[in-house]
Structure 1
Amino acid sequence: MTTNSFAFFDLDHTLLPVDSSGLWAYFLISKCSDRKQEFERRQKQFDLDYFNGVLDINQFMDFEMHLLSLFSRAQLEEYRKEYIATYIKPNIRPNAVELVQKHKEAGDKVVIVTATYRFVVEPIAKLLDADGLIAAEPEEDADGQFTGGWLRHTFAQGKVTAVEKYVADRGGLETLKSSSFYSDSINDLPLLSFVAEHGGTAVATNPDKFLSRIAKQRGWKILSLFQVEEPTYEEVVEKTP
């Protein structure tokens, strides 16, 4: 019997040099003229909390889903096309694509594992030619409109839960022995550790200073695909659309 093997990848600052989630949030906020300042203030605080490793994922998901629910599905589809063309396609890096293809050629199934919600990242996963996608799941009504609720998050320990469920019907935890997980962020330490503990390969990719230190201590691989500067609060503000 053939044993499945997976190459799991975080997305933002791992395969992309930008924060696709943050860019999308600010893009939507720019469409909310009556509450733009309030939403920007809240998003900037979430950015800072994420950077410092203290993000409250439940509050963040509630905020993101509320923002999403302010628009019709038809509006969001149009906005997403503009967002992908403006902010994502110009930031697809050849060496990131080459790494994905290298794993596919070796027989691995490439799966993006991101804390960003599915609606945003589905077209990005297609651009990167991923075989699968694990992402946060917004709640939709019977007509496909977003309700403002959410079904699951895939942040920190949530990624471990989601990956464990994903491999359960695809060979189980044994598949992790021949699998790998690439991430830049200390927030992904739970899944990096989980994969390594099950015999797989943890790869600190463009790592932040916190993850870089732990990767060196544990003897994990460290990979630099491109330069990612850790943003200060002011830089996060300046780089928003």
Structure 2
Amino acid sequence: MKKYFSKERNTFVKGRSKKNVKVMISVFDLDKTIIKVDCEGLFYKVAYVKKIISSSTLREFFRFQEKYKNGKFEPMEHLEFQNKVIIKYKLRSRKGFLKYFISKYLRKNLNWTVYNEMLSREVVLISTASNHFLASKVNKYLLGSKNIICTSLDNPKRGYLPINYGIGKCKNLDIWIKKNNYKLCEVEFFTDSINDLPLLLKANRRFIVNPDVKLIKKSLKLSNRIILFTE
């Protein structure tokens, strides 16, 4: 039985109907939020060490990461690059390596504070700009959420925008809410990234995880915010 928000009582109450009560949707970013590290960045490093990808591929990936840090990220170009890497190195067929990577490198980097918050919520959506190829496997083998939206060229087949980044996260969340028939809802959002500012502004309650100075300054203008500093 799920807990729903009762406006009259100002609490969450148990119930099955999505029509007459307000549900709290808990949205979680993935990288540096539920997981302490950048999953894709670590994946590329380990894949290079294991001689699965070349040094030139690793350098190209880091070029995109620098653009991301500097606010000059080109998400579609990055998606196309990653899809070429996946095909070139036949990464989809390396299921053993994916399980090894998640078990050895990501499990120990779980942010237990945020992960336990996720487990305590009734309606959870993981929303990440990361490529579906890796993010979906991290969720499958480690996190176990029923709901996840990633960046993927196949998203339009499921009714979502291909790029789940910036304002795209807001639009895909709206699509997900409509698909799941949540007539009345509020949103709480956990993230570390200033690139998620559009969804932070949209959310009713904000949990800002280990923010940098830039995000702290931006968040000072937001109501209903909680800053979480975790180990």
Q: Per the shorter chain, which TM-score range?
A: 0.7 to 0.9
C-alpha contact 2:64 2:78 (8 A) present in aligned 1: yes
**Which residue of structure 2 lines up, in the alignment, with residue 181 of structure 1?**
189
Partner residue of 2:213? Answer: 209
Asked if residue 156 in structure 1 is aligned to residue 166 in structure 2, the reply is: yes
Mapped to 2, the partners of 1:44 and 1:191 lie a distance apart of 26
1:193 aligns with 2:211: no
Runs of 5+ in structure 1 lacking a partner? 140-150, 228-241
SS in 2 for 1:218: coil
Partner of 2:125: 111
Distance 1:190 1:206 in 2: 18
Contact 1:10/1:183 (8 A) holds in 2? yes
Residue 95 of structure 2 corresponds to residue 77 of structure 1: yes
TM-score (norm 1): 0.76
| Aligned 8 A contact 1:207 1:222 in 2 | no
Paired with 1:29 and 1:222, the residues of 2 have a C-alpha distance of 38
The code of the aligned residue for 1:152 comes to P
The count of corresponding residues between Structure 1 and Structure 2 is 206
Kindly provide the amino acid, as one letter, of the partner of residue 180 in structure 2.
Answer: R
Contact preservation (8 Å) 1:215, 1:222: no
Secondary structure of 1:7 counterpart: strand
Judged with a 3 Å threshold, the aligned counterparts in structure 2 of structure 1 residues 206 and 74 are, in CA distance, closer, same or farther, namely closer
Q: Which residue is equivalent to 1:168?
A: 178
Q: Given the superposition, is the C-alpha separation of residues 56 and 32 from structure 1 closer, same or farther in structure 2, using an over 3 Å criterion?
A: farther
Q: Check if 1:6 corresponds to 2:25.
A: yes
* 1:45-124 correspondence runs (5 A): 45-72=63-90, 75-103=93-121, 108-124=122-138
Q: Supply the AA of the counterpart residue of 2:202.
A: F
Question: Residues 201 and 222 of structure 2 are in contact (CA less than 8 Å); yes or no, is this contact kept in structure 1?
Answer: no
Aligned to 1:235: none
Q: How far apart in 1 are the matches of 2:25 and 2:210?
A: 20
Please, which moves more after superposition, 90-99 or 112-121?
A: 90-99
Contact 2:79–2:152 (Cα < 8 Å) also in 1: no
Question: Structure 2: how far apart are the matches of 1:74 and 1:189?
Answer: 32
**Structure 1 173/76 Cα, relative in aligned 2: closer, same or farther at 3 Å?**
farther
- Asked if 2 retains the 8 angstrom alpha-carbon contact of 1:137 and 1:153, the reply is yes
Q: For residue 31 of structure 1, report the CA deviation from its aligned partner.
A: 5.8
Counterpart contact for 2:26–2:123, Cα < 8 Å: yes
- Are positions 1:131 and 2:146 aligned together? yes
Letter in 2 for 1:130: S
Distance 1:10 1:46 in 2: 19
Please list every run of 5 or more consecutive structure 2 residues that lacks an aligned counterpart in the other structure: 1-16, 155-160
Amino acid aligned to 2:196:
D
Per-residue deviation at 1:79?
A: 2.1
Once superposed, what is the RMSD of the aligned Cα atoms? 2.4
Distance 2:139 2:125 in 1: 9
CA distance in 2, matches of 1:101, 1:52: 33
Structure in which a larger fraction of residues adopt helix: 1
- Length-normalised TM-score, structure 2: 0.79
Q: Contact conserved, 2:23 with 2:182, CA < 8 A, in 1? A: no
